[in-house]
Structure formats: structure tokens, C-alpha cells
């Protein structure tokens, strides 16, 4: 398995990392790996926007029946 070293970590960032690792019950190494994995698996802003565009296209021109304000009013009145 590959390894790398990070130099010149600002003390405040290092302390945040230590604290988060402690809260999560992980070693600092395991916490760094968890952060990297989570961030690298996250869709890029471009991918996220493409997904929104697909949703907009799928629902374009649809009329919501009944409109949201009617549903809210009904929910409020039923209490």
C-alpha cells in the first residue's frame, strides 16, 4: 500500500484533525483516510449540476396537483 507524508501542517489544522479523530474513535491516519475517501467520492460541482439539469428536464412542464400551498394549508387545518 502506498504512503505519503504531509509537511508544514498548520498547528490549528492539526489540532482540528486530532479532535475529529478523537470524536470519531479513529487514529489520525484512519481519520485522514476517511476524509480523503469521503471527499474524493463526492460528485464534482459539474456532475452535481448535470444531475440537477436532468431532474429539471424530467419534470419540465409538469403541473403539481394539488399545488404545495394547498397541501400545506390542508396539513395546517387538520391539526
Q: Each residue of 19-70: pLDDT tens digit?
A: 999 999 999 999 999 999 999 999 999 999 999 999 989 888 877 778 888 8
Res 3 pLDDT > 80: yes
Pairwise CA distance, residues 17 & 4, whole Å:
17
Pairwise CA distance, residues 3 & 5, whole Å:
7
- Single pTM value for the model: 0.61
Res 63: pLDDT: 76
Amino acid at each position: 500500500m502506498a504512503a505519503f507524508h504531509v509537511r508544514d501542517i498548520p498547528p490549528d489544522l492539526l489540532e482540528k484533525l486530532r479532535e475529529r479523530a478523537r470524536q470519531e474513535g479513529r487514529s489520525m491516519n484512519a481519520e485522514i483516510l476517511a476524509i480523503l475517501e469521503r471527499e474524493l467520492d463526492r460528485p464534482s460541482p459539474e456532475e452535481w449540476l448535470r444531475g440537477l439539469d436532468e431532474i429539471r428536464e424530467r419534470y419540465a412542464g409538469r403541473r403539481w396537483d394539488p399545488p404545495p400551498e394547498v397541501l400545506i394549508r390542508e396539513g395546517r387545518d387538520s391539526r
